[in-house]
Amino acid sequence: MAQDLKFHEFDAIIVGGGGAGMYAALQASSQVPSQGSSGVQKVAVLSKLYPMRSHTGAAQGGVAASLGNMGEDTAEWHAYDTVKGGDYLVDQNAAQILADDAPKVIYDMEHKGLPFSRTEEGRIAQRKFGGHTHHFGEGPVMRTCYAADRTGHLILHTLYQQCIKENVTFFNEYQVIELLMDGTVATGVAAIRIADSSLHIFTAKAVFFATGGAGRVFKVTSNALANTGDGAAICARAGIPLEDFEFYQFHPTGIKGIGVLITEGTRGEGGILRNRDGERFMERYSPTLKDLAPRDMVARAITKELLAGRGILGNNKIDDFVYLEAMHLGSDTLKTKLPDVREFCMTYVGIDPIKSPIPVHPTAHYTMGGIPTDINGQVGYSGQKYEGLFAAGECACVSVHGANRLGSNSLLELLVFGRRAGIRLKDYVKGAEARKIPQSEIDKARKTYADLLDRKSTGGKVSSNIGQVYDKMQSLMSAKVGVFRNEKGLQECLTGLAEIKEEYKGVKIHNSNTDYNYDVLRVFELGCMLDLAEIVTEGALARKESRGGHAREDYPNRDDENFLKHTMAFLDTTTKQVRLAYDDVDLSKWEPKPRVY
């Protein structure tokens, strides 16, 4: 079906209106008179959601920075914890920047109006979070700044207000479906306007992806419906590799069955995990940090307890659960510091954590890998730079999380690298020529959309049901590529995914409306996730070691000799096969050591 196209031209297009996209837009747009610099006049943010509905708004627990408001702390300790927490797959120069810039971005947010919770003296309040320590691992430190358990929500509000003030142009409810390149130079994007299904081509000197994570690939997840990894898949389809994509974080405490997150802040405030014998089992797995060990360790510990029959039901299954006790924290703490946690428990489980323990098990939570960037958000790896292409936030891999992200380092990453990339974007665009999108790229976008619309059927037999196909992918990924993985399961997953991809080809769209036709968009998103699921699984199969969030039952040890390297997974643009290459890790500060907590 031929589509009428609508054309737009901007200096910079930012895809994504979450924390990373909006902070970058703000930096690229804002005028700084004292430094004599002016912002880029034409920055547009494209977002498939109204920006305030981005997943950043769901972030509860907080954002890390070594302010030292509640005990001694240093950026050096923060950087070290980040490197060790990531099981040494972290680029250490990037981790140092993350830690060094943290106080600056927190104070910037404070000055822009973010209402942080306060200490009695009026300073920004901080709490403990998993894997954050003082004196290089001696004990937990209070490093995570918070605004009750609504930190992300308030970051999003603060940034949106400021973007409006700086006249950033928003294209809300526009879903990007293609990145348009000229060789290795970004020239623009194609997007569907959801309100009327029209196809729009945006030409820009720079394209910036800030499209968030891909948690919906898994069945039990803390992620919002929109977290389908579109940006990563779109880049992979344009020939750009995804870095370390096999590393997926399972958060230890999702509400049993549904995976809705209970923030690590609950344990940061003193919450305790217990098995069916009432035992505080984390003392066995992590004698020093106990319940506040890094997430990969706690998720594995819970899974081991469940499989050993020490879950609350004692059925030896991973869908059993353990208890997270917060009753001893008292009603005041729960009501003032964790009000949303309490409300989630009452809404979803019908219990009040002031009186009863919370039933939890691991939930798919965070995409550690992503679009490879340098420390200024420019996309590329050692073999190739992509001109005019930027990324930041959860869709990107800079890489500060390595094999396992520490809690509260993600909101920090949005701020530190969203900001840096926004500043670089501003300079880049000033010196760049206007772009022309090759006709072949426009034709490609038109075809991608026409193929989606061709699935609209006016009736007749349903060959594949999108809900069933979606569910099969999620169930398969959770069963075979979850907290523990092995060769047999991963092979079975690849076979299963190939079958599901065939079924996907037969998915029809039965909604013929042009206004807000979410069926078309869901089909597009499912296609993205199927590509990503394959990239995760191929990477996991090839990585014959256990490191951070990637735990292989058949290769239980970390193997620095063969696998202390970043995976670069390419999706062949014609065959759709995954090809793996590898790149060096920056180890400029600390020698890899065994990870003991």
Ligand X SMILES: Cc1cc2nc3c(=O)[nH]c(=O)nc-3n(C[C@H](O)[C@H](O)[C@H](O)COP(=O)(O)OP(=O)(O)OC[C@H]3O[C@@H](n4cnc5c(N)ncnc54)[C@H](O)[C@@H]3O)c2cc1C
Structure tokens at 238: 């344009």
| Distance, CA of 111 to CA of 269 (rounded, Å) | 26
Query: In this chain, which of 12, 28, 46, 299 binds ligand X, going by CB under 6 A?
Result: 46
Site for ligand X, residues 317 to 376, rule: CB under 6 A = 366
Give the integer Cα–Cα distance in Å for 331 and 355.
Answer: 9
For residue 563, the minimal CB distance to ligand X (Å) is 25
Stretch that binds ligand X, among 81-89, 349-357, 404-412, 581-589 (CB under 6 A): 404-412
Is the Cβ–Cβ distance between 321 and 256 less than 8 Å?
yes
Looking at the Cβ atoms of 209 and 555, the one nearer to ligand X is 209
Place of tokens 């009501």: 335
Report the residue from 223, 286, 303, 537 that binds ligand X according to the rule CB under 6 A. Answer: 223
Number of neighbouring beta carbons within 10 Å of residue 445: 24
268 in helix, strand or coil? helix
User: Rounded to the nearest whole angstrom, what is the least distance from the CB of residue 220 to ligand X in the complex?
Assistant: 13
| Interacting span for ligand X (CB under 6 A) from 11-19, 90-98, 316-324, 486-494 | 11-19
Q: Which residues contact 350 (CB under 8 A, 6 or more apart)?
A: none
Distances (CA, A) of 137 to 87, 278, 288, 568, 597: 14, 28, 9, 31, 7
Structure tokens at 556: 């239980």
With CB under 6 A as the contact rule, the residue among 273, 411, 532, 585 that binds ligand X is 411
Select from 86-94, 205-213, 303-311, 538-546 the region that touches ligand X (CB under 6 A): 205-213
What are the backbone dihedrals phi and psi of residue 144, each rounded to the nearest 5 degrees, phi first?
-95, 115
Nearer to ligand X (CB atom), residue 52 or residue 542? 52
Distance CA 319, CA 64 (A): 31
Q: At its nearest, how many Å lie between ligand X and the CB of residue 46?
A: 5
Contact 31, 65 (CB under 8 A): no
Give 52's DSSP letter.
G
What number of other Cβ atoms are within 10 A of residue 2's Cβ? 6
N- to C-terminal Cα separation, the chain: 59
The binder of ligand X chosen from 16, 259, 357, 527 (CB under 6 A): 16
Q: How many angstroms separate the Cα of 84 from the Cα of each of 78, 133, 300, 596? A: 10, 11, 17, 9
Q: How far apart are CA 162 and CA 168, in angstroms?
A: 9
- Region binding ligand X by CB under 6 A among candidate stretches 43-51, 371-379, 484-492, 494-502: 43-51
User: Smallest gap, in angstroms, from Cβ of residue 208 to ligand X?
Assistant: 11
**Cβ distance to ligand X smaller for residue 63 or 585:** 63
Beta carbons of 344 and 255 less than 8 angstroms apart: yes
Residue closest to 15 by CA, chosen among 42, 53, 51, 59: 51
User: Rounded to the nearest whole angstrom, what is the least distance from the CB of residue 21 to ligand X in the complex?
Assistant: 6
- Inter-axis angle of helices 409-431 and 19-29, nearest 10: 40
Does position 15 bind ligand X by CB under 6 A?
yes
* 140 touches ligand X by CB under 6 A: no
Distance CA 182, CA 521 (A): 26
Q: Pick between residue 214 and residue 564 the one whose CB is nearest to ligand X.
A: 214
CB of 407 to ligand X, least distance (A): 6
Q: Give the CB-nearest residue to ligand X.
A: 18
Binding to ligand X (CB under 6 A) within 52-71 occurs at 54-56, 58-63
Site string (244-263) toward ligand X, x via CB under 6 A: -----------------x-x
Q: Which is nearer to ligand X, 212 or 422 (CB)?
A: 212
- Binding of residue 378 to ligand X (CB under 6 A): no
Query: Cβ closer to ligand X: 255 or 490?
Result: 255
For the CB of residue 393, give the shortest distance to ligand X in the complex, in Å: 2
Asked if residue 203 binds ligand X (CB under 6 A), the reply is no
**Catalytic residue among 237, 295, 435, 558, which?**
295
Given 12, 14, 17, 482, the residue binding ligand X (CB under 6 A): 17
Residue 212 in the binding site for ligand X (CB under 6 A): yes
Contact stretch for ligand X (CB under 6 A) within 51-59, 237-245, 381-389, 534-542: 51-59
Residue 151: its H or E element: helix 151-165
**How many residues at the interface with ligand X, by CB under 6 A?**
45
231 touches 532 (CB < 8 A): no
Is the distance from CB of 485 to CB of 553 less than 8 angstroms?
Answer: yes
408 is a site residue for ligand X (CB under 6 A):
yes
- Name the minimum Å distance from CB 179 to ligand X: 10
* 261: three-class secondary structure by DSSP: strand
Within 4-138, residue ranges assigned H as helices are 19-29, 75-85, 92-111
| Part of the chain binding ligand X (CB under 6 A), chosen from 76-84, 117-125, 220-228, 566-574 | 220-228
Q: How far is the CB of 323 from ligand X (least distance, A)?
A: 20
Nearer to ligand X, 299 or 541 (CB): 299
C-alpha closest to that of 547 among 560, 563, 558, 561: 558
Determine whether 295 is an active site residue. yes
- Closest distance to ligand X from the beta carbon of 213 (Å): 6
Q: Which residues of 208-229 are buried (b: 16+ CB within 10 A; e: fewer)?
A: bbbbbbbbbbbbbbbbbebbbb
Q: Where along the sequence are the contacts to ligand X (CB under 6 A)?
A: 15-21, 46-49, 51, 54-56, 58-63, 151-152, 175-176, 210-213, 222-223, 226, 230-231, 261, 263, 366, 393-395, 408-411, 414
Residues forming the active site: 295
